[in-house]
Amino acid sequence: MRVGMGYDVHKLVEGRDLILGGVKIPHTLGLLGHSDADVLLHAIMDALLGAAALGDIGKHFPDTDPKYKGISSMKLLEHVGNLLTEHGYVVENIDATIIAQKPKLRPYIEEMEQNIAGVLGIAKDQVNVKATTEEGLGFTGNETGISSQAICSLNGFFESSMEVGGGSRCASCSGCQKR
């Protein structure tokens, strides 16, 4: 099993949509960023990439590349999911927290979880999203930004079938060529 953690923060500004977990949330402010600035998905992507030792979102989706200007972070998450598959990993679970004073996010969390699970091709019960405030403290408390933290676990496709330390033999196979 591999574990990864991610963290992201974006500034709240006027004139931008507030998008979290792929859900457009009614609010007077939105998050500033090169893409749609979905702070929740950015933290989740960094956790997934970290668990697979594949770098971070800045490596894969640099904010200097015009093709990512305004892009939906759901598309970026889909790309990360494809990278995990290409490298032989499956997502076991994701647990994430959004830190924001306003707006109240409880009504949108189930849709966020469904969006994340759907794009990654996993069950909704493998994704948990929470929201909290910082009781008026700090940049999230004074509503100048929103942050998010995420942790995830991954397993390799063949991880549970390989002998520990053997690396080249199947633990339960008696007749293949790897013996």
Is 168 flagged in the annotation as binding?
no
45: Cα within 13 Å, side-chain hemisphere? 27
Is 97 flagged in the annotation as binding?
no
Is 157 flagged in the annotation as binding?
no
Is 62 flagged in the annotation as binding?
yes
Is 139 flagged in the annotation as binding?
yes
Is 113 flagged in the annotation as binding?
no
CA-nearest of 88, 145, 96 to 116 is 96
Q: Answer yes or no: are the C-beta atoms of 44 and 25 closer than 8 Å.
A: no
Is 36 flagged in the annotation as binding?
no
Is 42 flagged in the annotation as binding?
yes
Between the alpha carbon of residue 102 and those of residues 108, 140, 141, 167, the distances in Å are 13, 9, 9, 49
Is 9 flagged in the annotation as binding?
yes
Is 109 flagged in the annotation as binding?
no
Is 132 flagged in the annotation as binding?
yes
Is 95 flagged in the annotation as binding?
no
Q: List Cβ neighbours of 70 (8 Å cut-off, separation of 6 or more).
A: 34, 35, 36
Is 79 flagged in the annotation as binding?
no
Is 8 flagged in the annotation as binding?
yes
> Residue ranges for the binding site?
8-10, 34-35, 42, 56-58, 61-65, 132-135, 139
> Residue ranges for the binding site for a divalent metal cation?
8, 10, 42
